[in-house]
């Protein structure tokens, strides 16, 4: 549905994004993650035709954004971080206005707007001025305007920012529903939100794509993590003794000491090849070295752990 190839954008001497490439398949919900200043909003503005790129290419539904900008924009519904609302208009009039801009057939606008308001749960406020709406309803109207013209691709920049917990739940439910019929690319700071809604994730850091793949480790492009077993353990002994012994574990990849929690014990994380019964092999090895194990557990690679590794430079590009 969307292909981004070597896209770069600079603001004078400051880098926005650099050589960014990724793919969003049709009917997928893809999360765009990154710390503040990573380049997320710059990238979304380029994808939606709101900002020119310095180099690279973007194709939407097989069409080049630079060669066919109007045709590409008709296929994209965009919710920026601040919804483009006119406070003096009613909800219904505003959506009708946007539908005309999106070249919806005149005789079908009224029905089109009614369908969108019903989908976004805006029917009860259809005749209220936008300036009188709560933050939650304004965000719903922002998504509603993105749906005008039935674009197959929705680009949402921080759709739940500023909402209270109940509104966040409602907005997530709406995005989940829209994902059944649309391709969705959305930016978010909330990792649990991306974990719950997305099938794929893109992590930007310092203007570059540092990770692209499935939210689930077993389906991801991160082959090393998928093939390995990660263990966290607390061992009685010095850090030097424990790390030295762990290097002799069958299938050893790497180990690192974590923050110590008790005197005389070393807390560490161990990454091994996926061998049979790694806990048994590790127990026998450390017992033979007189290094008793107090705790040992397998670690699952959560999105939070992946994000922290990528943005701290631990993950290979």
Report the CATH number at residue 50. 3.40.50.300
Structure tokens at 194: 């991306």
244 and 267 fall within a common domain: yes
In a domain, residue 111? The reply is yes
Q: List the beta strands (DSSP E) in 132-178.
A: 153-157
In a domain, residue 44? The reply is yes
In a domain, residue 313? The reply is no
In a domain, residue 62? The reply is yes
Secondary structure, 3-state, 1-31:
CEEEEEEEEEECCEEEEEEEEEEECCCCEEE
- Alpha helix (H) residue ranges in 228-277: 239-246
Residue 260 has a pLDDT of: 66
141 and 213 fall within a common domain: yes
Please name which of 256, 249, 228 lies closest in space to residue 291, comparing C-alpha atoms. Answer: 249
In a domain, residue 314? The reply is no
Residue 194 has a pLDDT of: 87
In a domain, residue 307? The reply is no
Residue 306 has a pLDDT of: 75
The secondary structure of residue 86, as a DSSP letter, is -
85 and 14 fall within a common domain: yes
228 and 263 fall within a common domain: yes
Q: How far is CA 61 from CA 16, 28, 143, 209, 293, in A?
A: 25, 14, 21, 22, 55
Which backbone phi and psi does 237 adopt, to 5 degrees? 150, 165
Neighbours of 217 (CB within 10 A): 18
Structure tokens at 270: 């161990």
Split into its structural domains, the chain has a count of 2
58 and 154 fall within a common domain: yes
257 and 204 fall within a common domain: no
pLDDT tens series, the chain, 317 aa: 899 999 999 998 888 999 999 999 999 999 999 888 889 999 999 999 999 999 999 999 999 999 999 999 999 999 998 888 999 999 999 999 999 999 999 999 999 999 999 999 999 999 999 999 999 999 999 999 999 999 999 999 989 888 888 888 888 899 999 999 999 999 988 888 888 889 899 999 999 999 898 775 444 444 444 456 788 899 999 999 999 999 999 888 888 888 766 788 999 988 887 778 889 989 999 999 999 999 998 876 567 767 877 777 554 44
Report the CATH number at residue 292. 3.30.70.3190
Range of the domain at 232: 223-300
In a domain, residue 79? The reply is yes
Structure tokens at 228: 């390995």
Among candidate residues 187, 219, 251, the one where a domain is terminated = 219
Among candidate residues 219, 234, 258, the one where a domain is terminated = 219
In a domain, residue 316? The reply is no
Residue 23 has a pLDDT of: 93
121 and 186 fall within a common domain: yes
Q: What's the pTM value of the predicted model, to 2 decimals?
A: 0.73
24 and 41 fall within a common domain: yes
């Amino acid at each position: 549905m969307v292909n981004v190839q070597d896209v770069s954008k600079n603001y004078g001497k400051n880098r926005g994004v650099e050589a960014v490439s990724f793919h969003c398949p049709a009917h997928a919900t893809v999360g765009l993650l990154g710390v503040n200043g990573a380049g997320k909003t710059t990238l979304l503005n380029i994808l939606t035709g709101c900002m020119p790129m310095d180099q690279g290419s973007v194709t939407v539904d097989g069409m080049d954004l630079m060669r066919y900008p109007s045709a590409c924009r008709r296929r994209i519904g965009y919710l920026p971080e601040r919804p483009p609302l006119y406070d003096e208009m009613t909800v219904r009039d505003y959506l009708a206005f946007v539908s005309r801009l999106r070249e919806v057939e005149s005789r079908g606008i009224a029905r089109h707007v009614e369908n969108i308001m019903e989908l976004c749960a805006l029917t009860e406020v259809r005749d209220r001025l936008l300036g009188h709406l709560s933050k939650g309803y304004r965000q719903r109207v922002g998504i509603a305007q993105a749906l005008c013209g039935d674009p197959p691709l929705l680009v949402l920049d921080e759709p739940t920012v500023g909402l209270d917990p109940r509104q966040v739940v409602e907005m997530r439910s709406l995005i989940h529903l829209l994902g059944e019929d649309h391709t969705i690319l959305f930016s978010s700071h909330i990792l649990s939100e991306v974990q719950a809604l997305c099938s794929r994730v893109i992590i930007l850091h310092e203007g570059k794509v540092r990770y692209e793949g499935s939210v689930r480790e077993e389906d991801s492009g991160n082959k090393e993590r998928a093939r390995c077993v990660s263990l966290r353990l607390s061992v009685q002994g010095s850090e030097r003794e424990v790390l030295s012994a762990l290097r002799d574990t069958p299938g050893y990849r790497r180990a690192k000491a974590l923050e110590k929690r008790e005197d005389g014990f070393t807390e560490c994380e161990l990454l091994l090849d996926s061998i049979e019964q790694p806990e048994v092999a590790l127990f026998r090895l450390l017992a033979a070295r007189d290094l008793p194990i107090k705790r040992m557990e397998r670690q699952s690679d959560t999105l939070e752990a992946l994000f922290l590794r990528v943005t701290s430079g631990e993950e290979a590009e």
